[in-house]
Structure 1
Amino acid sequence: MLHAKYRWSQLPCDEASASRLASQLNISPLLASLLVTRGMDRLEEAEQFLKGSLADQHDPLLLSGMKEAVPRIRQAVENGERILIYGDYDADGVSSTTLMIHLMRRLGATYDYYIPHRTKEGYGLHIPVLEHFHKKGFTLIVTVDTGISAVDQVAYARSVGMDVIVTDHHEPPAILPEAYTLINPKLPYCSYPFKGLAGVGVAYKLAQALLGEDTPEAWTELAALGTIADLMPLTGENRVIVKSGLASMAHSAFPGMTALLGTSGWSSGEVTSTSVAFGLAPRINASGRMSHANRAVALLTAESMEEAEVIAEELDVLNKERQMLVEDMVQEALQQLESQEEAEGLPDVIVVAGEGWNAGVVGIVASKLLERYYRPTIVLGIHPETGECKGSARSIPGFDIYEALTDCADLLDHFGGHPSAAGMSLGRERLEEFGRRLNAFAAGRLQPEHFVPVLQTDLACSLKDVTLQAIEQLQHLAPFGMANTCPRLLLRDLKLLECKQMGKDGKHLKLVLGQNGKTVEAVAFGKGELASLLTEEARVDIVAEAGINEWNGSRKPQLMIQDLAVSHLQVFDYRGSRNPGLLLDELRGKLGKLPACGSGTSAVVLNDGSAFFQTLDLKETPVWVYDKNVGVRPGNDLAQAVGFNAAVTLFVLELPESPMGWTGMVSGFTALERIYLLHSPRAPQERIEPPSRDHFKLVYSLIHRGAGQGLREEELIAALATRTGWSRRMVEMALGVFEELGFIIRAAGMVRIHPSPSKQALETSSRYRELGLLAEIEQMLQYGRVPEITEWMLTHIQGAS
């Protein structure tokens, strides 16, 4: 058995609607089903989703505050006013700032821009900055991706005669700034049809309101970059904007975009949302995290490829430095949490802080800790001199971290964000109380089920459905991202045909899976350690994304595994190991580090009086011994204490001497998930064979000829072994059968024929039946292939239950 990392939840699908849609649109049943599971069961909705274009965008003037912003900006341009673009340091903020710079250039405005330093200043508007630009004669401020919480800062600007147009997309607080106008689709009074715009999306709508049809389509590249990087939903209006932007990036109008694509490994062809999310966005963000976001703005506003390539290389280096810094901080955070877990257990909401931690990467560290522990996580960097703590939060579904921070607002100097991610700052002296208050808030909201990660699957299908044509049609659902993920297919009962590790240090897993005659290759990134938990021909359930592997002109389906499980008992073959004790220690150590093994304990099974009791250190291991009457019984105090049902992993160090030991063990260990066969093969002189009437008749006739007056048992056994080719052990067990039936008499080391035996069938002998069962057990456990043993074991377990 192999435990899935996630709890799989399948979206419901109306098969009748899917069938109708497939016919109406002439698409594969797989694609039609996926459209239906995503809520598009009507022809018009599905066509809009598949074929939507920029022409389907909403009127920007529907955004509340837009009708006031447009004339004010035009007035400022006409009058030569100085306009300040005030942005943010993340990829969305950089994209927004860049787009607004290009807009101001197009309008012929007098402008400048400002992005605060992430670690020195922190998020949002700052009054000293506004004072500086007021003295320089700036009269209009346009914020992008920030400002909706800047009540005091906007009040200051108004007091000195500066108008502020706030464009933002973050959650509006209860008290709003009294700006010249506020543009944010999430404002409660805003009736804009689509609420999921990124900060750059709002800036793009402002550009559309000012330029109308003259808005360059290439600007959708900037909108796509910020929208994907900020994890905004790729549905509705975002979908058509991002789709256009990705198509434009392949022949970008921005030298900086092309240069950055080059440093992230792209050379030509289609640019995907994955290319942006894992290639462009981290490098743009590295600028603000490790240096200053101005360098990223300089890249995206560069007018020559030479300049762009130089800056792109800078950002690539910064990103590599960021990766190393993050890894160091993660390790420090893990040490804190491990100590805390040992002392008082893991809290519902994790709060960790470190002096000197780079505030620019605390959000990434929080994401990595959340992935490991799956609970809301806040990571803060403490300034060693001032004691100021700046941090980022990442949350899980069902827990609104912005709401939680609002409840602690009296402890915070500043905070803002979304239900799933946020930022904050506070003094070191309030840190302990902050953690306590957060967990008190969570106590009434987080239940045990919240801490089990859920993987939403789109559709259950079989391997025959995963064809090249179907996968090509799935690309019509792209671009993929938040709220429009790459389809996750649930495939059950696949036979594992091949399994091997690949990549550096065997970090990844490559499988060949089969079902009903069809095979497909599958890759599981980051799951290489599971190779040791998968047995030959195991029946595997997977959640996977379907793609196409192109190599040397060949194209074939490929599955990218997101999660996998084996729901049946697995048997692992280590028979004949030269040092079973060492191997036992190695296997137990490895299993203890793999979450996919689940909870429960491991146990060892031996024969009573085994030499392993003297040669192995088994004090910390539950040991069970075979027992002819009860199957197995405790062989040490630990086994007695934990009982049968605690054992999920069983190490078989020896085979039983009787069939009842094995069958009783099988029925006793009801919770077993995996069995490791570590026993040595029987010596040839101990081998037994399945008994047959003909063989036994032959043996009896041989005994009858020579034992009428009695023979020494040792001599008889040796003679019978020679004549029959049976092992000594087999001959001894056959004599036991004849003795039970009353055919022979054994006494004082002698064997003689019973003078008047009763007529009895061989099958009436319990020893004969036991011999047959023991022969079957030993034959299978010594010479069977793992798939055969597994199937045989499952049959016996089902029979026992």
Structure 2
Amino acid sequence: MLQSSMKWNFTYTGEVESGGSSDGLTPLTKRLLEKRNIVDPDAIRQFLNPSTEDLHDPFLMDGMRRSITRVKDAISNGESILVFGDYDADGVSSTTLMIEALREAGAECDFYIPNRFTEGYGPNEEAFRFAYDTGYSVIITVDTGIAAIHEAEIAKELGIDLIITDHHEVQEKLPDAYGIIHPKTSSDYPFQELAGVGVAFKFAQALLGYFPKHLLDLVVIGTIADLVPLQGENRVLASIGLQAITNSKRPGILALREVCGIEGEMNEETIGFTIGPRINAVGRLQDASPAVDLLLSPDLEEAREIAKYINQLNQERQKIVADIAKEAEEMLLERDDKDNVIVVAKEGWNPGVLGIVASKLVRKHDRPAIVLGIDTEKGEAKGSARSIDAFDMFTNCMEVRKRFIHFGGHAQAAGMTLDLEQIDLLRKDLNEIAERKLSEEDYQQVLDIEMSVAIEDISLQQIQEIDQLRPFGMGNPKPLFHLKNTPKEIRLIGSKKNHLKMQFQENSTRVDGIAFGLGDLYPHISPADRLDIVGKLSINEWNGRKNLQIMIQDLCVSEWQLFDLRGSKHLEKNLVIPHGQEYIAVSFQGMEESPHDVQIFDHKDIESEKAVDGLLLLDLPKSISQLKEVLNKINVSKLYACYRIEDSTFLKTWPSRDHFKWFYSMLMKRGSFDLYKEGDLLARRKGWDRSMVDFISQVFFELEFVKMKDGLITINAQSSKKDLKESVLYQEREQQLYIEQTLYYSTYKELKNWIDPLMDKESMHVKEEVVNGL
């Protein structure tokens, strides 16, 4: 058996009804909508056909009217306005959008994004004083500012009117700003989950007095890249935003498409895995201003140069992430105990990429993770946190707010700065909180599975129907499906051979399976395994040909497994033992060495009801009953046939009764036969194997049909009639032949089928009861 790494939650047990319905929806679409609690006809319409008509009035947000009035006054008075942004994709797109809206409204404005390394996250006093000295009288924050208590006081002291537009979690106290525009501080606003760029877009709409469609290509970047729930207004903005960015003529977008090799329609995956990471990479490694310059650039050639530079930064970012992740893993290996919440810190780690590293640790260890870069000169550590579904990072860190100099974020992601002496205390506090609040199951990622499907039921039409629910993301995950099948083919792919590619076929339907990052499972999957797979269905289009595909998230084998290593001369290399699992080896003929120093047991010494993960059969039994006895005693999920044969009985000619008759007749005619001198000659003349001549002679001698002395064979006149099978030697050879034929020279499928009933303890127990009862 091969255990799944995640917890599978089958959310629906009923069968999908066939046929359509009066509203034109297929049963599959209706089920997927019901799973998302979308059953009301109006809600269904809004979900399947996102429209700008479903967006809310921006003036429902508290502080909007007052703030817009102040900005319009500033424009009329010729005052300078500073847009203070953040360095991630949401902040960059928010900054760009706000600058474009202000310029269109006639404002004198510029933007400022703090340097992650020298200034840290969010507004800071030095930047505000610089803005004052430069002549700015109004500062508008985008995607940041809701925790800027001190900075709001500085702005007020300087006579700067501070308008905060943000979407991050609200803390105990609000800044004393001129205006705060935040969905979660607006009791009358119907939707509270807008991204920072969504809030900025609402501000732009209110300022310009119309719906600014030309800014939607910016809105979609931050909305998808910031992983806000794609529900309500976010779904509308993301959906129409994807259409906008697909058709965008913005030079920065066109340049990004070129450098990323994006052709045709853009979707949420294009933003999340291609566009977003590149925009994020700038602020992770340096000042994020070039990313804003790219999106604001009116010149395509200039945009191309910036895009190339940004792409190089992203490649550099990838290498830095890989190096830090490796160091973090090494640190965890050195620890004796497995923490409930991972906290790792080291000097020299780039603070800009630590959120990505934290995400990698969460995915690998299924635990919340905080990764910190140490600054010994300041005596501080700065970094990022990522979490699992069951552990709200924002809420739980707020319980120990005293540990931080700065802290902010969401349930699943946060940023922080703390004194060095607080690192171990923070680790201790969060581990105690997790110990108190979480169960063992909480540390296992949950896959919510929509339904089980058969290979032959998957079609292009079905996948296209599922795609009606796009864009997928937080709050509207791409549906996960379960299938059970034996791969026709399975192989390792990728430059590092760390991914799996499978091919499933049932009748005329073929589905390719891709499992990224699961290459380490390859040696633990045997050829005939029926795999249980959970993944996302998609269409892979290549050279105009569309192929069905499932992107595998997790897999398992629910039945016992047979690994065929018969005849292998490289067991050490071919046998991979999973970490933490118990393996033993069994010998029937007294072998003293086993691969990887696995403990060897004599077959007679196996305890009844012994349970192990893996059992190695090092050699062939002398009788089938020996093997049956071992398998009856032991409980095992993985069986390895590791035996070899040096002197095969099966490959030697097995004499028939006619062979025995001819040999006996020859002895009767000749009276004697010198086995030593004439054995080879007889074998050549008859086309027999020499061993067959010896075997026939030994059987006759055992049955007392002949006498033998120093190789001279003569007829025994006193012999009695006996059947050949009365010979122990004949029986042993016949048994050995059967053992080799069954256990060694059989095909994989034949061997698996032969062992199958022996592994079914319940079935064997029933058979024994019946036999004993008779």
TM-score class, shorter? 0.7 to 0.9
Coordinate RMSD, CA, aligned: 3.6
Task: Give the Cα–Cα distance (whole angstroms) in 1 for the partners of residues 740 and 34 of structure 2.
Answer: 54
* 1:630 alignment counterpart: none
Give the superposition deviation at 1:747: 11
Task: Give the Cα–Cα distance (whole angstroms) in 1 for the partners of residues 717 and 279 of structure 2.
Answer: 94
Counterpart check, 1:206 vs 2:217? no
Moved more, 79-88 or 723-732: 723-732
Opposite residue 9 of structure 1, the aligned amino acid is N
**Contact 1:252/1:258 (8 A) holds in 2:** yes
Aligned to 2:121, the other structure's residue is in SS state coil
- CA gap of 1:192–1:727, structure 2 versus 1, over 3 A, is farther
Task: Give the Cα–Cα distance (whole angstroms) in 1 for the partners of residues 345 and 614 of structure 2.
Answer: 39
Task: Give the Cα–Cα distance (whole angstroms) in 1 for the partners of residues 644 and 426 of structure 2.
Answer: 56
Give the superposition deviation at 1:301: 0.6
Aligned to 1:679, the other structure's residue is in SS state coil
* 2:366 alignment counterpart: 374
- CA gap of 1:279–1:619, structure 2 versus 1, over 3 A, is closer
Give the superposition deviation at 1:706: 8.5
Give the superposition deviation at 1:559: 2.1
Q: Select the residue among 606, 617, 623 that pairs with 1:652.
A: 617
* 2:158 alignment counterpart: 160
* 1:464 alignment counterpart: 456
* 1:605 alignment counterpart: 586
**Contact 1:398/1:450 (8 A) holds in 2:** yes
* 1:338 alignment counterpart: 333
Q: Select the residue among 625, 630, 641 that pairs with 1:665.
A: 630
Given the two structures, how large is their TM-score scaled by the length of structure 2?
0.88
- CA gap of 1:169–1:479, structure 2 versus 1, over 3 A, is same
**Contact 2:585/2:594 (8 A) holds in 1:** no
C-alpha deviations, 1:670-694, integer Å up to 9, x for none?
A: 12324243423651478698x9xxx
Task: Give the Cα–Cα distance (whole angstroms) in 2 for the partners of residues 488 and 425 of structure 1.
Answer: 38
C-alpha deviations, 1:66-99, integer Å up to 9, x for none?
A: 2332323223222333222111111111111111
Aligned to 2:22, the other structure's residue is in SS state helix
Give the superposition deviation at 1:792: 2.3
* 2:523 alignment counterpart: 532
**Contact 1:249/1:258 (8 A) holds in 2:** no
Give the superposition deviation at 1:203: 0.8
Task: Give the Cα–Cα distance (whole angstroms) in 2 for the partners of residues 604 and 296 of structure 1.
Answer: 60
Counterpart check, 1:679 vs 2:644? yes
Task: Give the Cα–Cα distance (whole angstroms) in 1 for the partners of residues 550 and 222 of structure 2.
Answer: 29
Task: Give the Cα–Cα distance (whole angstroms) in 2 for the partners of residues 523 and 36 of structure 1.
Answer: 29
Task: Give the Cα–Cα distance (whole angstroms) in 2 for the partners of residues 391 and 405 of structure 1.
Answer: 14
Aligned to 2:230, the other structure's residue is in SS state coil
Task: Give the Cα–Cα distance (whole angstroms) in 2 for the partners of residues 753 and 46 of structure 1.
Answer: 99
Given the two structures, how large is their TM-score scaled by the length of structure 1?
0.85
Aligned to 1:123, the other structure's residue is in SS state coil
Task: Give the Cα–Cα distance (whole angstroms) in 2 for the partners of residues 797 and 276 of structure 1.
Answer: 50
Opposite residue 650 of structure 1, the aligned amino acid is L
Give the superposition deviation at 1:443: 2.0
* 1:12 alignment counterpart: 12
**Contact 1:242/1:479 (8 A) holds in 2:** yes
* 2:285 alignment counterpart: 290
- CA gap of 1:786–1:14, structure 2 versus 1, over 3 A, is closer
Q: Select the residue among 614, 624, 644 that pairs with 2:601.
A: 624
C-alpha deviations, 1:629-672, integer Å up to 9, x for none?
A: xxxx25xxxxx8xx974532233331111111111122223123
Moved more, 309-318 or 516-525: 516-525
Give the superposition deviation at 1:769: 10
**Contact 1:87/1:93 (8 A) holds in 2:** yes
Counterpart check, 1:437 vs 2:414? no
**Contact 1:221/1:248 (8 A) holds in 2:** yes
For 1:215-226, what aligned pairs fall within 5 Å after superposition? 215-226=211-222
Q: Select the residue among 462, 477, 489 that pairs with 1:485.
A: 477
Q: Select the residue among 339, 343, 348 that pairs with 1:356.
A: 348
For 1:399-798, what aligned pairs fall within 5 Å after superposition? 399-492=391-484, 494-515=485-506, 518-577=509-568, 579=569, 583-588=570-575, 591-592=576-577, 597=578, 599-610=580-591, 613=592, 616=593, 620-627=597-604, 633=605, 645-680=610-645, 682-684=647-649, 776-798=738-760
Counterpart check, 1:325 vs 2:323? no
Aligned to 1:456, the other structure's residue is in SS state strand
- CA gap of 1:87–1:551, structure 2 versus 1, over 3 A, is closer
Aligned to 2:351, the other structure's residue is in SS state coil
Task: Give the Cα–Cα distance (whole angstroms) in 1 for the partners of residues 244 and 529 of structure 2.
Answer: 46
* 1:196 alignment counterpart: 193
Aligned to 1:673, the other structure's residue is in SS state strand
- CA gap of 1:539–1:730, structure 2 versus 1, over 3 A, is farther
Give the superposition deviation at 1:501: 2.3
- CA gap of 1:732–1:176, structure 2 versus 1, over 3 A, is farther
Opposite residue 132 of structure 1, the aligned amino acid is F
Task: Give the Cα–Cα distance (whole angstroms) in 2 for the partners of residues 478 and 281 of structure 1.
Answer: 18
Counterpart check, 1:800 vs 2:737? no
**Contact 2:75/2:106 (8 A) holds in 1:** yes
**Contact 1:221/1:242 (8 A) holds in 2:** no
Aligned to 2:3, the other structure's residue is in SS state coil
**Contact 1:99/1:204 (8 A) holds in 2:** yes
Aligned to 1:496, the other structure's residue is in SS state coil
Opposite residue 4 of structure 1, the aligned amino acid is S
- CA gap of 1:101–1:730, structure 2 versus 1, over 3 A, is farther
* 1:118 alignment counterpart: 116
* 2:306 alignment counterpart: 311
Give the superposition deviation at 1:487: 2.1
Aligned to 2:757, the other structure's residue is in SS state helix
Give the superposition deviation at 1:56: 1.7
Task: Give the Cα–Cα distance (whole angstroms) in 2 for the partners of residues 732 and 53 of structure 1.
Answer: 91
Task: Give the Cα–Cα distance (whole angstroms) in 1 for the partners of residues 26 and 194 of structure 2.
Answer: 31
Aligned to 2:547, the other structure's residue is in SS state strand
**Contact 2:594/2:618 (8 A) holds in 1:** no
Task: Give the Cα–Cα distance (whole angstroms) in 2 for the partners of residues 179 and 6 of structure 1.
Answer: 46
Give the superposition deviation at 1:455: 2.1
How many correspondences in the alignment?
752
C-alpha deviations, 1:528-563, integer Å up to 9, x for none?
A: 343333332321111122222333333232222222
Task: Give the Cα–Cα distance (whole angstroms) in 1 for the partners of residues 601 and 508 of structure 2.
Answer: 42
Q: Select the residue among 31, 34, 42 that pairs with 2:32.
A: 34
Task: Give the Cα–Cα distance (whole angstroms) in 1 for the partners of residues 597 and 414 of structure 2.
Answer: 46
Give the superposition deviation at 1:252: 1.2
Opposite residue 76 of structure 1, the aligned amino acid is A
Task: Give the Cα–Cα distance (whole angstroms) in 1 for the partners of residues 340 and 481 of structure 2.
Answer: 32
Give the superposition deviation at 1:6: 1.7
- CA gap of 1:711–1:324, structure 2 versus 1, over 3 A, is same
- CA gap of 1:745–1:439, structure 2 versus 1, over 3 A, is farther
Give the superposition deviation at 1:699: 6.7
Give the superposition deviation at 1:313: 1.0
Q: Select the residue among 237, 242, 251 that pairs with 1:246.
A: 242
Give the superposition deviation at 1:323: 1.2
**What are structure 1's unaligned runs of at least 5 residues?**
628-632, 635-639
**What are structure 2's unaligned runs of at least 5 residues?**
766-774
Give the superposition deviation at 1:168: 0.9
* 1:637 alignment counterpart: none
C-alpha deviations, 1:252-310, integer Å up to 9, x for none?
A: 132111111221221x3101111111111111111111111111111111111011111
Task: Give the Cα–Cα distance (whole angstroms) in 2 for the partners of residues 685 and 520 of structure 1.
Answer: 41
* 1:2 alignment counterpart: 2
Give the superposition deviation at 1:702: 8.9
Give the superposition deviation at 1:713: 14
Opposite residue 112 of structure 1, the aligned amino acid is D
**Contact 1:681/1:782 (8 A) holds in 2:** no
Percent of aligned pairs with the same amino acid: 37
